Chains A and B, each alone.
Chain A
Amino acid sequence: MSSGNIQCERRGDGVSLCVALLVAVAMLGGCARLPYTTKTLHQDRRVVINAQEELDRPGYTHPATLSRSEVAAILAGLSTREQQRLPLRWFAEEVPPKAIFRADEIEVLAPYLAEALTKVGPDERVHFEVIAPGLNPSMSKDSLGGWVAVRDPYLYLSLEYFHVQVPIRTTDLYDYNYPTPPPLAKDYLVYFEPGRFWVTDQKGRRGVNYRAFLQSAPTTNGPGRELRTPAGTP
């Protein structure tokens, strides 16, 4: 290639190229968006509850009123297993589902979740995270996270982390210069028992027909497992 040709090609004027790219980037700005947190409804070392705005106007029937016991009963019926990526999905042996929430997790989560469902709007969902110390507590937390939403008579739950180690700092504890973004949310398959209440709604989304479930199921966790009142609530 001759130098003359390169001279013509070369700067294609660098500045204008950058400007053009930035304009293109700005135009793309509205395209790729993720749901975002609008407010933090509760936060302590064990549980974090956020309201998240969804961008596609999902039309939930929030605020929704469910008692803590009702929420606890629904949570107790949920189970999950991680979805394998393709092509492993075709060959890998399926792992049996596990209960998403342990009793102690339901105990701390359900009251705040019930309260949060009364505070979010129709375009918002309730994002939750149940936190436990990570394997290296200085560096990470054990996170059980996802979101919940209600569109009567369905309650939807999507799981993002099922006991995943999530960094608690934005940069590595030992390598100061290396950022530690949280791991990407995984794909989980969620189930509900009794299975007859795990249904597909008109939009093809899976959810719990919680109205029917609550009419047929007890809403306490059994003797001695009374749910506490969240701090600061009447």
Chain B
Amino acid sequence: MEAEIGMTGMARVLAKPSVPGNATIWSIRLLCSLGSLLIFFQTIPAAAVESGRLVEKDGKYVFVESMDPAVQLMLDRSLKSGLITQEDYDRVQRESEMRTYLLQPSYKAWYDRGFNFSMNDNAFLLKIRARLAIRYTQRERNDAWRVGDSKNYPELLGVFGDYRANRSIDEGSSFNLKRMRLYFMGHLISPDFKYYIQLAGETAENAQNPGAMSVLDANVQSTHIPWLNVQLGQYKVYFNRSQINSTAAMQFTDRSLASEAFTASGLNRRDTGITIMNDEEVYPVNYYFGVFNGSGPLVNRFAQFTSEEPTQGCPGGQTGGNPFPSPATGCPINQRNLNANYRSSINQLMYAARLQWNIMGRAGYGEGDIAYSESPQMVVGGGYAYNPAINTSTDNAFVGIDLANLNFRRQMATIGNARILGQGVVDLSTWTLDYALKYRGFSFQSEFWFRQVNRHNKGLPCVQTLTQGGACTTFAPGQYGNMTGWMVQSGYYVIPRKLELAARYTFWDPDTNSGGDLIKQVDVSLNWFLFGTYDHQIMVTYSNVAMGMGGFAIGRSAPLPAVGNPALAASFPSGNVPLDQGQQTLIENAIRIQYQLFF
């Protein structure tokens, strides 16, 4: 049984002067230290009584005195008239309160931003929440979408995961269950040992990730030591602000395309691992350091492998011959080599670090200033992530006939990093800088990203040979460069806490060595927060996206992979027509109307 301090008692305690005399200061410190230890180990066998307590009744919180008012009245009058002594009065009060305390249930249940179930001593809490974001999208695309996007967001379909251009007709109208989330969170044993589980089931917006229930987050957190909080499990990597922000608390219906691409891992914003950090509410300067698989959620590096022939050390990846660069010294030809089973990167991990300085106040996460900050809230932060040995396919340009790594490649294609595919094994180093300001309903945020892609195989990728395993006759026209981008967004609550107008501009260069490949995005949004919180909102977001299709992408642009005489169609295992014909700019104008309920 843990102590619960009664309201009146607490008032008396709290109202005492906060500065004790010198004679008692050390003993108080000692007591505080002992108290902290007791709290830490959750062994508080103290007992206390209440003069009453707050109870939830018909959706309202009311204070109920422990003692029946009639009895209380009689006691008061008896004391006043001298029928009983003050000692008797106090004893009856205590016994009555203890009786009430013992008779009450040992748990409580209430609704407050979720359904809460808790033991009275607060040693266990389960909070169940759900979030629905239902969306209607009306979009108009230009004719270039008939050719489609094969470079940034291709779909990798079929057992071989061959590239498919993402194409469509001009006009699109669709309803989406954009987000459906179920949350189970709370604490166990102590309020400082927490758990968090988030399940998601939502409409798929592409063909390679069909909608299904999946586990987005599953982690535990220790907050016993404010400067050394620990989070373990699967969750969003603390890297850049726009990714850390919850989609439930945004100024637009979606993150910008660029910020989706610049995740720490380059695959997904979530990963499995461990992070140490300090408490943002306590310290103005915050650090985050995490170690992760670097492979996205619900998967680890055992799902990534390279193709190897039965002869060890001899690269595989295509039927009937060696891939490029080949023949490797001492490697035989014509072995069975669809053995995509050599796991050579399982000793690698991703490292992500973030440093943040709350220059003024605590801007926190959430994009707009819904809280109507009375004083300026300013924060600046930066992050670095190193994710080594990501196999984007065997480095022989024959992506379409390499079974390997569909999981990794699909993750990259889903978030717009598909230009990196086909570059073999790469190390991704990603930097980010971000800034946020919130003040009296106004908000401004900006982010800068840069990703260096370090290819293990140096030199231009070989794409054509005359014979299986023969010398290279045609190389890729250029080397893949790096990625960079930036974003600014601002908003203002025209009606404080309720109606917000926001705009965003995003610039993204997915390959710094290519021309005509820039992606520019403009968004304007009108957001209505019905109850002054993010929990209940209607958003109308207009987006304009222009996506340049210039540049070379292995397996999608000419020259396409071939073995044999390039004049013969039969030499091209995946066909001889490039997917990026014309290399026009894809343009989309879309209006998204979204209703969100978080309860």
Binding site for B on A (CB under 8 A): 1-3, 6-7, 9-12, 14-15, 17-18, 21-22, 24-25, 28-29, 31-34, 36-37, 44-46, 82, 98, 102, 104-105, 107-108, 132-138, 140, 142, 163-165, 169-184, 223, 228, 231-232
Contacts and interface: CB of A to CB of B under 8 A. Distances in A.
Contacts, number: 202
25 contacts: A7-B142, A9-B589, A11-B546, A14-B505, A18-B490, A21-B503, A25-B442, A25-B490, A25-B491, A25-B492, A32-B494, A36-B374, A133-B10, A136-B112, A137-B191, A142-B61, A163-B63, A165-B61, A174-B127, A177-B246, A181-B533, A184-B497, A184-B533, A231-B16, A231-B17
B14 A46 contact: yes
A98 B497 CA distance: 29
Contact of B371 (A6, A140, A179): A179
B488 interface: yes
Given A3-B142, A11-B544, A18-B488, A184 B532 contact: yes
B532 A178 contact: no
A10 B544 contact: yes
A181 B17 CA distance: 31
Q: Is chain A's binding surface mostly helix, strand, loop or mixed?
A: loop
Given A3-B143, A132-B10, A178-B365, A32 B116 contact: no
A228 B587 contact: no
A43 to B, nearest CB: 10
Contacts of A182: 371
Interface in B494-534: 494-497, 501, 503-505, 520-522, 524, 531-534
B54 A163 contact: yes
A177 B244 contact: yes
Nearest to B277: A176
B186 interface: yes
Contacts of B191: 137-138, 173
Given A135-B110, A184-B531, 4 more contacts: A3-B587, A18-B504, A32-B495, A37-B374
B435 interface: no
B110 to A, nearest CB: 5
Contacts of B170: 1
Contact of B246 (A24, A82, A178): A178
Contacts of B108: 135
A175 B361 CA distance: 20
A28 B244 contact: no
Interface in B455-514: 488, 490-497, 501, 503-505
Contacts of A1: 140, 142, 170-171
A32 B496 contact: yes
- Counting contact residues on chain B (CB < 8 A from A), the size range is 35 or more
B522 A46 contact: no
B15 A44 contact: yes
Contact of A11 (B125, B196, B362, B520): B520
Contacts of A173: 191, 194
Interface of B: 5, 7-8, 10-11, 14-18, 51, 54, 56, 60-63, 80, 108, 110, 112-113, 116, 118, 122, 125, 127, 140, 142-144, 170-171, 183, 185-187, 191, 194-196, 221, 231, 236, 244-246, 248-249, 280-281, 362, 364-366, 370-372, 374, 440-442, 488, 490-497, 501, 503-505, 520-522, 524, 531-534, 544, 546, 584-585, 587, 589
A16 to B, nearest CB: 10
Nearest to B533: A181
Contacts of A9: 589
B73 to A, nearest CB: 13
A80 to B, nearest CB: 11
A132 B7 contact: yes
Contact of A14 (B15, B118, B495, B520): B520
A171 B281 contact: yes
A177 B236 contact: yes
Contacts of B488: 18
Contact of A179 (B122, B365, B493, B532): B365
Nearest to B143: A3
Contacts of B8: 104
Nearest to B372: A34
Contact of A135 (B11, B56, B521, B587): B56
| The 5 A-B residue pairs with the shortest CB-CB distance in the complex, in nearest-first order | A184-B532, A179-B366, A3-B142, A14-B522, A174-B185
B113 A180 contact: yes
Contacts of B143: 2-3
Nearest to A184: B532
A163 B365 contact: no
B364 A179 contact: yes
Contact of A136 (B116, B281, B522): B116
B113 to A, nearest CB: 7
B112 A140 contact: yes
A135 B118 contact: yes
Given A10-B589, A179-B249, A231-B18, A17 B522 contact: yes
